[in-house]
Amino acid sequence: MARLASLNVGRAQSFDLGERKLRSAIVKAPIAGPAAIGRDGVDGDQQADRRFHGGPEKAVLLYALEHYPFWTRALRCVELPPGTFGENLTIEGWPLFERELHVGDELQIGDAARGARVQLTTPRQPCWKLEARMGIAGFAKAFLESGRIGSYARVTQPGTIAAGDPIVVASRSPRAAPLADLIAALHLDDRAAAERVLADPELDPALRRKVEWRLRRRRGDGATDPDDES
């Protein structure tokens, strides 16, 4: 059975990026005991830049514990603690997280009375914050190309959760595409994956526009990125 391996929070701090000093709360650490989780995320967690992180659609970030051995080997580390990649919820039980879970999946964490439900919204898009946190030039690109990037989620049922809580898939659209297909469609210009993603009638409209734009751009029609539209 899948479970919540670690619950992680962090506070905003400053990072030097070239000559710029920027703030991020990407450094997360596990907490002991239960914590409340609501529409804006986990109690005690902070998001420094809500233009790109946080808010109802990106309230929490999920990452698979099973991905950690890959990065331990790749980075030649003795150990990487949960929360290393900025995730709030380190999940154990889906070794192929991005292939086994789907955009729109609703996950029940803990029991129905006390626990919470989260719904996967969009894969993470790694940026300078992850690279600054790891202190490795080019890490964001390598992270993305690995496909092991995790997923954001909205909180559909606030509650209290703790490390060790069981997790089950409470609901799933019958035509939902795996997160891996959405990653390939959004970031790798994979036409077949894009068509599988677009076949889901319940796909979020904003994601649909983004995938369709990627397809049009691949055909070279000069379409405007929907993220730039007013």
Start-to-end C-alpha separation, the chain: 44
**Helix spans in the chain (H):** 68-74, 97-100, 128-134, 139-146, 179-187, 191-198, 205-219
Task: Mark whether 111 and 161 lie in a shared domain.
Answer: yes
Q: What is the pLDDT of residue 12?
A: 86
Task: Mark whether 139 and 156 lie in a shared domain.
Answer: yes
The CATH number for 59's domain is 2.40.33.20
- Which whole number is the average pLDDT over 159-167? 98
Task: Mark whether 75 and 188 lie in a shared domain.
Answer: no
Cα distance between residue 62 and residue 92, in whole Å: 10
Task: Mark whether 150 and 94 lie in a shared domain.
Answer: yes
Considering its fold, how many domains does the chain have in total?
2
Residue 87: how many CB atoms within 10 A of its CB? Answer: 25
Task: Mark whether 200 and 126 lie in a shared domain.
Answer: no
Q: What is the pLDDT of residue 69?
A: 97
Predicted confidence band of residue 223 (pLDDT cuts 50, 70, 90): low
Domain membership of residue 94 (yes or no) is yes
Predicted confidence band of residue 31 (pLDDT cuts 50, 70, 90): very high
Domain membership of residue 230 (yes or no) is no
Residue-range definition of the domain harbouring residue 201: 174-220
Task: Mark whether 78 and 105 lie in a shared domain.
Answer: yes
> pLDDT (tens digit, 9 = 90+) per residue, 34-93?
999 999 999 999 876 666 566 889 999 999 999 999 999 999 988 999 999 999 999 999
Q: What is the pLDDT of residue 228?
A: 42
Task: Mark whether 165 and 182 lie in a shared domain.
Answer: no
CA atoms within 13 A on the CB side of 40: 7
Task: Mark whether 150 and 195 lie in a shared domain.
Answer: no
- Which whole number is the average pLDDT over 200-224? 84
Domain membership of residue 152 (yes or no) is yes
